[in-house]
Structure 1
Amino acid sequence: MTVLINLQRLLLCIALLWCLPLAAEQKIVSINIQAVALEQPSDYFVTLLKMALDASKAPDEQIELRFAPYELSQARWIYLLQHESSDTVIWTMTSKEREKLLRPIRIPLFKGLFGKRVFIIRKQDQKRFDPITTRDQLGELLAGQGAHWPDTRILQLNDLPVTTASTTDSLFKMLMAGRFDYFPRGISEAWFELAQRPEDKDVVVEQKLMIVYPTAIYYFVPKSNEALAKRIERGLERLIDTGEFDRFFYSHARTKAGLEQLEKFPRRIITLDNPDLPEETPLDNPRYWLTLPGS
């Protein structure tokens, strides 16, 4: 009798399982990114992108980010997105030229901090910067920037002499060798980068100046992949709506140290024009930007 009851229960379980709908198969969405590995100690761009994609994915989707096999210059990445890769995301500063070539997601990833720049200098050179208050005075010194960075053209259009190199590492080496006088870096870069380069003890962040111009760093995708652009845009907007974007921004090592330094030590501001800023830049949308005192 017990055996019969157990058999009936087993048949009932099988019948119930047969009636249940099959679980939806997970769809893997693979996206290539420009990073070769997660930035240490904590990645900003990759983490924020994953947050945005997770915020905009369908219930049956699984997001897979695929790292690049090797480092490439910004110019090379832009070429690849134009001609060879339809499912790739890069992050770079905007310009009129770049927005002609690629599809920008016009939500500033650092709330405009990339256009607020302090200088990395040789430690012994602080006295050379102490008396500077104007753009003309700053123009007597030589800046170093990346060969393909939009910042380079902005400085040149403001009559500030610039020498270039292909990589950030090369620029640090050139600065220490005396090849130029100052290396402008965004608030979200300067202190963070020096913390990652403890061996470079002879370079510091200059103490009194900041140049300011309107710009933004965005995620970019190929113009052929509007669906990916809309997905990222939708995800970022949701992160802003829920407050997750700001919590991430203000707590991250890239931004936290720089903002704390600016609060403790106010700076003289030299304002520059940015003729390369696209007209579509959403400067009038306050939810995207951080306004610093005096800027």
Structure 2
Amino acid sequence: MKFVRSIQLVATLFIFCFSLSPIGSAATLFTPGPDKSNDRTHAFFHELLTQIVGDKYVIASRPHQTQNRSIGLLATKAYYDVIWTAESSERDETMLRIDFPIFRGALGIRGSIIRKDYEPYFNAITSIDEFKQVRLCQGHNWPDADILEYSGFLVYRAVHFESMLEMVSRERCDAIALSIFEGYGEMEAFEAKYSELTFSTSVLLIYPQSYYFYVKKENSALALLLEERLRLHHLSGDYDYLLSSHPLTRDAFPLSKYDTASKIIVQPGNAFFDDNDK
């Protein structure tokens, strides 16, 4: 009996001590993991989450899935706690959107990853009809692919980003349209392997599109915390500092350098966005 009581006492003390441990007491916030080597987009969002809620959560990643599967795993399973993705009316119905547009709401201001030997033709584009002759690579589940297809552009879809780079390199596509806040950093991460490619902003595609954090519909407490912390981060100037210094986004600045770019305005209508965004 004394032996049993000793075991019980040791177990109780162990549980008590473990509960005082910062690691044991910290909640974990699970996000999708990187989907490619040197994934600067994942690094950016991991850093942003760490800055805004790192005092309350350990930010951890689970294996990356396709966008549609990630949405399903967030909405119906206890697998991811928060994801980041481009908005769409369907996503706003399925998940709870955090109303703070990442990248200043400029996901739809897009330069293009192209072959360097394609630049003379690409730089001569001045109209939407000319741009519609460009074969665009886009992510398989990207809302942008739907927007561009609906608007009459030639879109070829691929699941993985590096597959898109290969398609442009092999001339199966002409361009990958990426936000000015993503294109420079993503191209720099792969420039050693794809030295024949470059991110061009001489001609910009422009359409309404934003990036957001999303959480499960029932997780309103987390949604409120994330929105409050993001707004405080912006007011303090720390968010703008992250944008101007992170390897993914820093080369997008200064924004004045796009003043002389040709701008192709795409008007996809309201079918892709939530009523509150119309």
Provide TM-score, normalisation by structure 1. Answer: 0.79
1:190 match? 183
Letter in 2 for 1:168: F
1:30 aligns with 2:28: yes
Question: Deviation string for 1:105-124 (max 9, x for gaps)?
Answer: 01011102311100111111
C-alpha spacing 1:254/1:231, structure 2 compared with 1 (3 Å)? same
Q: CA deviation at 1:252?
A: 2.0
2:14 match? none
Which residue, out of 252, 263, 273, partners 1:269? 263
Letter in 1 for 2:198: V
C-alpha spacing 1:261/1:244, structure 2 compared with 1 (3 Å)? closer
Gaps of 5+ in 2: 1-18
C-alpha spacing 1:41/1:234, structure 2 compared with 1 (3 Å)? closer
Equivalences, count: 252
Letter in 2 for 1:28: A
Q: CA deviation at 1:95?
A: 0.7
1:278 match? 274
* Bigger share in helix: 2
1:73 aligns with 2:71: no
Give me the whole-angstrom Cα distance separating, in 1, the residues matched to 2:96 and 2:117: 43
Contact 1:34 1:88 in 2 (8 A): no
Please tell me whether Structure 1 or Structure 2 has the larger radius of gyration of its CA atoms: 1
User: Residue 206 of structure 1 aligns to a residue in which SS?
Assistant: strand
Contact 1:142 1:163 in 2 (8 A): yes
C-alpha spacing 1:86/1:194, structure 2 compared with 1 (3 Å)? closer
Give me the whole-angstrom Cα distance separating, in 1, the residues matched to 2:236 and 2:199: 35
Q: CA deviation at 1:42?
A: 9.0
1:48 match? 48
Give me the whole-angstrom Cα distance separating, in 2, the residues matched to 1:277 and 1:176: 33
Gaps of 5+ in 1: 1-23, 284-295
Contact 1:209 1:268 in 2 (8 A): yes
Which residue, out of 68, 82, 97, partners 2:75? 82
Q: Which runs of 4+ in 1 moved over 4 A?
A: 36-42
2:4 match? none
Contact 1:42 1:253 in 2 (8 A): no
User: Residue 104 of structure 2 aligns to a residue in which SS?
Assistant: coil
2:238 match? 244
Question: Deviation string for 1:1-34 (max 9, x for gaps)?
Answer: xxxxxxxxxxxxxxxxxxxxxxx95642211111
Task: For 1:206-225, list aligned pairs within 5 A.
Answer: 206-225=200-219
Q: CA deviation at 1:79?
A: 0.8
